[in-house]
Amino acid sequence: MKSFARAGFGLIVLACATRVAAAQEISALVADREASAELAKIVATVRQNGLPLEPILAKVQYAVMVRSPAPRIVAAAHAVAARLEDARSALAPQPTATDIVAGENALWSGVSRKSLEEIRKVSPNKPVAVPLGVLAQLVVSSVPEKKATKYVTDLIKRGATSDQLVALGNDVNAEVKLGTRAMDALEVRMNRLNAVLGVPGANGDAASVPTSLQSGDGKKKP
Amino acid sequence: MRRARLFSFVACLATFSAPLRAQWQFAADLGASNLQRTDIPRSNAATFGASVTGVGDRTWFRSSLLGVMAGADQVTAQGLISGSVLGPSGHFARGELTGFLSGFSETGGRGTASGELMARGQFGLGSRGGAIGVGTGLTSRDGVRSALYHAAGDVWSSVGESQFVGSVSAIRRSATFFDGVNTVSFPQSYVDLIASWRRDHGGIVLGASGGVRGGLQSGTRGGAWGSAEAAAWVTARSAIVVSGGRSLEDPVRGIPRTTFFSLALRVTGQRHLTLSRRPTIAGARVSIVRVDDARRRIEVRGVAASRIEVMGDFTDWAPVALDALGDVWRLEREISPGLHRIAIRLDGGEWIAPANLPRATDDLGGVVGLVTVP
């Protein structure tokens, strides 16, 4: 218990020290020498590779908070570093640090690298942190990944705003929590978004369509 | 013979469109109307309408059908098939090529058929935009064909759950009639100005359209028209629809001037929110709203506690106390956009994931909620 507390304290100091003065020798700050050396190596490699350190620091801080044993922390930090590398490569060519962190979070949530690539493909020059977050939320809420990716990429193409995407994710989560099937919840919310996105009458807004007596499609077009 | 042709056409469309990646939807209305048409005196009528819509990445397709039976000898049917091929999505401007085929027939009449091809340029993305286009086509009425030329422009904008659309449409065509000896043809031009609004809120959908028509050349009756519709979704796939109003003649499609009031049952293949009161999630609910570009406000609702703390990756996993404002607990701070992990603690108890968020077990054994920050 005593050694655990010492290791925890050391890790906190490690986290703070790395953030404040990245170049400091960190191994000297940690009581559990083996773990601290390993963590220092991971942090150095991540920094050297130009990847954001925040997710690793957050993981360490969180680990200390939940009192994880040192070897488990090291393993988790390794995993974060690998996911950061993977996210950067999937979101190439020029992802921002926020994008890479969002990609790492999405990979951690069970989203595949392929889905990250698809999101980047439809949004090559814009931030993807919010779409990736919503995608991860949907996947965690039991929406099949392939469907979730298709819906999110469709919304990006149609110019949905960040607020609209976030609202979709939150609404689907809430419906699922109340017992609705994930796909049903997603369909309902997509239907509502379709009604306000894009060209009127050409966006799959079936619920508003068919049978007004005014004209064949109720849209007065052409 | 005509039916066979129509069936073949629909079968071809279905066959060729099946491999396209598209979301397919259908809707059908069955209702009763009180209506008056140019050729039908005011009477009660049964109506049946249906539509099929397919939306793909760069294509869309829609077909709709409406039948009105005001008596055994007063039956009208109208149908429209339209499809579009679009340029790549995700750009501010994109081209669109749209084709329309329509038909209208009534008992005792020989009917009208028309076809049109229209090229449009769309501008804007998402919630607002516009389009302009020109088209040309043919109308065949009582077996006499005439060419039509069409120019149109649309603008649309969405605010919250409402969408507003404004359109202008100018049509020039040759009107024809048989004077007993010869078929006489003369040019006919008119301009329509149209505005519409639609709001989809919960289980209620409201819509209204209105417009004015000005006849530029002989033979077109101008005037104003307007209609409104309200749909109440009683189940996820069915709604009661009330609509009423008047419409002007559609010379291109041969649809006569109509005044109507209609009550219908709508069934759709696509789910919609319903009128039923939605239960509230029990327990602490967290939401994060935008304050300005950098700052976000975390709000916790649905709990009775004397102290609430939050922690997450955005607090470096350090507990931060929230301030109470009535029933809502709040905290403002800078949070980057994207997915974040969050946990809350009530009155110094266990850290828990908020009830309204998807929860995940961290690879270190803790349970957290996942929230996306705009």
pLDDT tens profile B69-111: 988 778 889 898 989 998 887 678 889 999 999 999 988 777 8
A126 & A185 share domain: yes
Question: What does the pLDDT read at residue B87?
Answer: 87
d(CA B262, CA B17): 33
> Do both A72 and A119 map to the same domain?
no
Over residues B38-70, the pLDDT tens digits come to 767 888 999 999 988 888 778 888 888 989 898
pLDDT at residue B20 greater than cutoff 70 = no
Pair A108, A197 in one domain: yes
Contact A161 B127 (CB under 8 A): yes
Q: Are residues A16 and A62 in the same domain?
A: yes
Whether residues A38 and A116 fall in one domain: no
Contacts of B324 (CB under 8 A, 6+ apart): B308, B330
Whether residue A78 is predicted with pLDDT greater than 90 in this model: the reply is yes
User: Phi and psi for B304 in degrees, rounded to 5?
Assistant: -110, 110
Contact assignment for B25 to A137 by CB distance below 8 Å = no
Alpha-carbon distance of B130 to B80, in angstroms, equals 23
ipTM over 0.85: no
d(CA B218, CA B220): 6
Would A158 be classed as within a structural domain?
yes
Q: Are A72 and A129 members of one domain?
A: no
Confidence of residue B304 (pLDDT cuts 50, 70, 90): confident
Q: Which helix (H) or strand (E) holds A137?
A: helix A129-140
Domain identity same for A80 and A126 = no
In a domain, A108, yes or no: yes
Give the mutation candidate from B339, B345, B352, B370 for the A interface (greatest A CB count, under 10 A). Answer: B339
Among A90, A109, A135, which residue terminates a domain? A90
B260 touches A at CB < 8 Å: yes
Chain A residue with the nearest C-alpha to that of B200: A192
- With respect to residue A221, please indicate whether it lies within any of the assigned structural domains: no
Q: Kindly state whether residues A70 and A157 are assigned to the same domain.
A: no
Residue A213 lies in a domain: no
- The DSSP code for A50 is T
How many Å is the maximal CA-CA distance in chain B?
96
Does residue B256 sit at the A interface (CB-CB below 8 Å)? no
Question: How many helices (H) does chain A have, and how many strands (E)?
Answer: 10, 0
Q: Are B169 and B190 in contact (CB under 8 A)?
A: no
Tell me the chain B residues in contact with residue A127 when contact means C-beta distances shorter than 8 Å: 337
Q: How far is B267 from chain A (nearest CA, A)?
A: 9
pTM listed for this prediction? 0.81
Convert the pLDDT of each residue in B154-175 to its tens digit: 998 988 888 899 999 999 987 7
Residue A20 placed within a domain: yes
Same domain, A80 and A108: no
**How far is the C-alpha of B63 from the C-alpha of B79, rounded, in Å?**
7
Contacts of B165 in chain A (CB under 8 A): 200
Question: Helices (H), strands (E): how many in chain B?
Answer: 1, 24
Residue B258 pLDDT > 90, yes or no?
no
- H or E segment at A40? helix A33-48
Residues A54 and A116 in one domain: no
State whether A161 and A182 are in the same domain. Answer: yes
Closest partner residue to A62 among B231, B358, B362, by Cβ? B362
- For the segment A116-126, the average pLDDT, to the nearest whole number, is 93
d(CA B78, CA B76): 7
Separation between Cα atoms, residue A159 and residue B70, nearest integer Å: 45
Report pLDDT for B251: 83
Check CB contact under 8 Å for A178 and B279: yes
Contact B284, B301 (CB under 8 A): yes
Q: Nearest chain B Cα to A69, which residue?
A: B364
Q: How far is CA A57 from CA A39, A105, B6, B320, B371, in A?
A: 10, 14, 66, 18, 20
A49 Cα to chain B: minimum distance (Å): 22
Which tens digit of pLDDT belongs to each residue from A34-61? 888 888 889 999 999 999 998 888 888 8
Euclidean distance between the first and the last CA atom of chain A, given in angstroms as a whole number:
76
Q: Determine the topology of domain B285-373 in CATH.
A: Immunoglobulin-like (2.60.40)
Residues A35 and A67 in one domain: yes
B76–A contact, CB cutoff 8 A: no
Inside any domain, residue A188: yes
CATH number of B12-268: 2.40.160.60
- Give mean pLDDT, residues B5-21: 50
Put simply, the answer to whether A162 touches B162 (Cβ < 8 Å) is: no
Count interface pairs A-B at CB distance under 8 A.
282
* Structural element, H or E, at residue A12: helix A2-20
Residue B1 tokens, joined:
């013979």
Q: How many domains does chain A have?
A: 2
- Residue A220 maps to a domain: no
Find which of B271, B285, B352 to mutate to test the A interface (most A CBs within 10 Å of its CB): B271
* C-alpha dihedral sign at B91, B93, B97, B98: positive
Residue ranges, comma separated, of all CATH 2.40.160.60 domains in chain B are 12-268
Query: CB-based contact (8 Å) between B79 and chain A?
Result: yes
Q: For residue A214, is it within any domain?
A: no
Domain of A65 in residue numbering reads as 1-90
- Nearest C-alpha neighbor of B196 from the set B223, B157, B253, B231: B157
Q: Is B363 on the interface with A (CB under 8 A)?
A: yes
Joined together, the tokens standing for residue B10 give: 């629909």
Q: What CA–CA distance (Å, rounded) separates B196 from B206?
A: 11
